[in-house]
Structure 1
């Protein structure tokens, strides 16, 4: 049994890997009858402090976010550098990558999940917080992303 001590059961985001973020973002915008969101690059490694499989990585990705009420849809087009995004896109093709939860106490939550066999595979920072991807594919059939936002 999986011990959910994340402090939440609310999925806040679904991440989808794509080859062409411009085309896919427009398709979702048309589907939802909304404007295509701004597409931005993740921060460079110097700012993001990105690590993949316990090593620094220069990996970056283009991101587009659709805010859909209580859920956010994230489109991810990775660059060529080693990352969970690049590996999964090459291995599995386009499609779902992760479900995300907002947590407090990132280090403790990572330790909790690792005790349950869900290994930390990538982490980094973004303006206002940090993220961590854990390999929960054996247990949950999808990766879990933890998001921790700085206190305002």
Structure 2
């Protein structure tokens, strides 16, 4: 396969880990990395018209904590999904705790990168749009062993 729009390593911004118990995982990560404990944000399972999961409007709850590693230029995100269908629940049910995705900032090449990945058979798991950006989880688990989060910017 010839890649016309490669994902730049300089754009690496994120490791996202899905867990069954965010409190226990957060304690372990903070101790391991000697970081202060961040807040755990929680969203409810209301339908979100700005997010899709496998082509349908997403409606799931999530606990999220972000461990910032500014000296390295990336974050470690911990995700604890509720039981509703989502990319995070799908991963947890299939694999248990583990690395769900690696995030890359690709700037203006976002649509080209996502389009090329999709054209080569990688389904879009989740597309989310927010006020100043977007995030797209591309299903690359079977080929790369991990999904990709392609963002125009962090």
TM-score, normalising length: structure 1? 0.86
Number of positions where the alignment pairs a residue of Structure 1 with one of Structure 2: 149
CA distance in 1: counterparts of 2:99 and 2:2, whole angstroms: 22
What pairs with 1:39-54 in structure 2 (closer than 5 Å)?
39-42=40-43, 45-46=47-48, 49-54=50-55
Q: Name the structure 1 match of 2:95.
A: 92
Q: Name the structure 2 match of 1:27.
A: 28
What SS class does the counterpart of residue 117 from structure 1 fall into? coil
**Does the 8 A contact of 1:50 with 1:59 survive in 2?**
no
User: Which runs of 5 or more residues in structure 2 are unaligned?
Assistant: none
Instruction: Write the deviation string for residues 4-36 of structure 1: whole angstroms up to 9, x where unpaired.
Output: 614622321111010111111111111111211
- How far 1:117 sits from its partner (Å)? 1.7
RMSD across aligned C-alpha pairs, in angstroms?
2.1
CA distance in 2: counterparts of 1:2 and 1:54, whole angstroms: 27
Instruction: Write the deviation string for residues 59-86 of structure 1: whole angstroms up to 9, x where unpaired.
Output: 2311111112222111000112111100
Q: Name the structure 2 match of 1:5.
A: 5
**Does the 8 A contact of 1:2 with 1:116 survive in 2?**
no
**Does the 8 A contact of 1:18 with 1:77 survive in 2?**
yes
What pairs with 1:3-152 in structure 2 (closer than 5 Å)?
3=3, 5-6=5-6, 8-10=8-10, 11-42=12-43, 45-46=47-48, 49-68=50-69, 69-105=72-108, 106-149=110-153
Instruction: Write the deviation string for residues 99-129 of structure 1: whole angstroms up to 9, x where unpaired.
Output: 1101224333221111122111111124532
TM-score, normalising length: structure 2? 0.85
